[in-house]
Amino acid sequence: MATKQSNQFEVPETMKAWVLGDPDELKQIEKPVPEPGDAEVLVRIDAIAVCATDLEILENGLPAMVEGENPFNKDFILGHEYMGTVVKQGPNVDEYDVGDRVTVEVHAGCGRCPRCREGMYTSCLNYGLRSKGHRANGFSTDGGFTEYAVNNINTLVHVPDDMSDEEATLVVTAGTAMYGLDVMGGLIAGEGVVITGPGPIGLMGVAVAKAMGAGPVILTGTRDNRLEMGKQLGADHVVNVRNEDAVEAIQRITGGKGVQYVLECSGAANAMNEAAKMVNRGGRICLAAFPSEPVPVDLAYLVRNNIYVFGIRGEGKSATHRAAAFMAQKRFDAKIIHTHTFGLDEVPTAIKYAKERIDDAIKVVVKMRDEEAA
Ligand SMILES: [Zn+2]
Ligand SMILES: [Zn+2]
């Protein structure tokens, strides 16, 4: 079967792309529109959200790597939280049709290593090896601050007609929170969950935990406006740790019992030790954020209390599909965390808003076209 492309979408030869120059430098260039290969489609990008990791890559390069090297001055396109429309199928692709609206996961594992076989494709042992089939768009292969991107069909999730482009960009964030709850055991209905840190993943963690039936769901943080959003997304209790000791607050709310699970999304230096005091014996902690420096941890406390600690990378085990299902069923309103929208020519401004949290920005979305013109 040859590469299929309907006349419905005319694909140009080149596209506008924001690429990484030197550290903290983004420049717009023209790049050739990529060709989808086996098991791949070409996605016309309709919207993309700015992620804190994009800001990190822009400044430090890591965690992005291009062919095993730092990604500066390699015409590398960053951005990974995008959605769009399938405009071209690679050879033998029939899983998605031209015209399908899709949102994407970041990681297409190689599909041939032991981790991929277990569904842990975000921990692929051939990470970064394009020759083995691995892709992590916006990390090791070109991402979404552009007009078109190639995606493996395994990274696609259908977007329902009544979900906006902006909301669809948030699916992968909700999927990351879902993956964190999955790795801790997943069966959280009726169990207490604390989410520490009301960033995008933390706020989606609240929403997903609530949708999965957890109770109580408790959110801790330092900014009242974000904690208020947490309430709208389903938090039973919120704690501003500027006003009250976080551990004491959890003990107060749970009548001294603690909770079964903590999803750590703050990256604060003391977060791990506090999480250990929030869970009860045998409790589970998932680290979805991390401090920028090594920090001391009271390991003896963890061992004596049989506390399990997990780390997650990205959105493995098809968690994105489960999060997308909750959003399609309108179990929570992810749109609450979308605060600002810019156009493709305004990517540096969009990034500035996200970085400096101008006007209380949380999720800043770049939208490629007006709805009417779509
Ligand atoms: Zn992200
Ligand atoms: Zn693999």
> What pLDDT digit, counting tens, does each position of 264-320 carry?
999 999 999 999 999 999 999 999 999 989 999 999 999 999 999 999 999 999 999
| Smallest-distance ligand from the CA of 154 | 2
Q: How far is the CA of 124 from the centre of ligand 2 (A)?
A: 4
The confidence score (pLDDT) of residue 374 equals 40
Q: Report the share of the chain in percent with pLDDT over 90.
A: 94
| Smallest-distance ligand from the CA of 114 | 2
| Smallest-distance ligand from the CA of 119 | 2
pLDDT band at residue 371 using 50, 70 and 90 as cut-offs: low
| Smallest-distance ligand from the CA of 125 | 2
Q: How far is the CA of 185 from the centre of ligand 1 (A)?
A: 23
| Smallest-distance ligand from the CA of 169 | 1
Each residue's pLDDT tens digit, 84-133 = 999 999 999 999 999 999 999 999 999 999 999 999 999 999 999 999 99
Q: How far is the CA of 117 from the centre of ligand 2 (A)?
A: 7
Cis peptide before 294 (omega within 30 of 0): no
Q: How far is the CA of 315 from the centre of ligand 1 (A)?
A: 10
pLDDT band at residue 83 using 50, 70 and 90 as cut-offs: very high
The confidence score (pLDDT) of residue 7 equals 67
Q: How far is the CA of 63 from the centre of ligand 2 (A)?
A: 18
CA distances from 18 to 21, 74, 129, 144 (A): 9, 12, 23, 9
pLDDT band at residue 373 using 50, 70 and 90 as cut-offs: very low
The confidence score (pLDDT) of residue 372 equals 47
Q: How far is the CA of 127 from the centre of ligand 2 (A)?
A: 7
Mean pLDDT of 343-353: 97
pLDDT band at residue 369 using 50, 70 and 90 as cut-offs: confident
| Smallest-distance ligand from the CA of 107 | 2
Distance CA 103, CA 43 (A): 9
Distance CA 260, CA 263 (A): 10
Query: Is there a shared CATH topology between the 14-159+333-367 domain and the 176-311 domain?
Result: no
| Smallest-distance ligand from the CA of 104 | 1
The confidence score (pLDDT) of residue 186 equals 86
Q: How far is the CA of 230 from the centre of ligand 1 (A)?
A: 19
Q: Scanning the structure block, which residue is given the tokens 């420049």?
A: 27
pLDDT band at residue 218 using 50, 70 and 90 as cut-offs: very high
Each residue's pLDDT tens digit, 225-264 = 999 999 999 999 999 999 999 999 999 999 999 999 999 9
Q: Report residue 108: phi and psi, to 5°.
A: -105, 110
Give 192-260 as a DSSP string: -EEEE--SHHHHHHHHHHHHTT-SSEEEEES-HHHHHHHHHTT-SEEEETTTS-HHHHHHHHTTT--EE
Q: How far is the CA of 168 from the centre of ligand 1 (A)?
A: 13
By the CB criterion, residues less than 5 angstroms from ion ligand 1 are 51, 53
Ordered by start, the domain boundaries in the chain are 14-159+333-367, 176-311
| Candidates 1.10.340.30, 3.30.565.10, 1.10.3720.10, 3.90.180.10; CATH matching 14-159+333-367 | 3.90.180.10
| Smallest-distance ligand from the CA of 122 | 2
Q: How many CB atoms lie within 10 A of CB 225?
A: 10
Mean pLDDT of 55-83: 96
Q: Report the CATH superfamily, name and number, of domain 176-311.
A: NAD(P)-binding Rossmann-like Domain (3.40.50.720)
Q: What is the pTM of this model?
A: 0.94
Q: Is the pLDDT of residue 4 over 70?
A: no
Helix or strand run (H / E) with residue 17: strand 14-20
Q: How many CB atoms lie within 10 A of CB 173?
A: 24
Q: How far is the CA of 252 from the centre of ligand 1 (A)?
A: 34
The chain-wide mean pLDDT, for the chain, equals 95
For 242-330, where are the E strands, in sequence order? 259-264, 279-287, 308-311
Q: How far is the CA of 266 from the centre of ligand 2 (A)?
A: 29
Q: Scanning the structure block, which residue is given the tokens 């069923």?
A: 329
**Which region among 7-11, 207-211, 272-276, 282-286 has the lowest average model confidence (pLDDT)?**
7-11
Token digits of residue 70: 């730092």
Q: Is the pLDDT of residue 138 over 90?
A: yes
310 within 8 A of 287, measured Cβ to Cβ: yes
Q: How far is the CA of 197 from the centre of ligand 1 (A)?
A: 16
Mean pLDDT of 142-167: 97
Q: How far is the CA of 71 from the centre of ligand 1 (A)?
A: 17
Q: Is the pLDDT of residue 58 over 80?
A: yes
Q: How far is the CA of 151 from the centre of ligand 2 (A)?
A: 16
Distance CA 50, CA 347 (A): 9
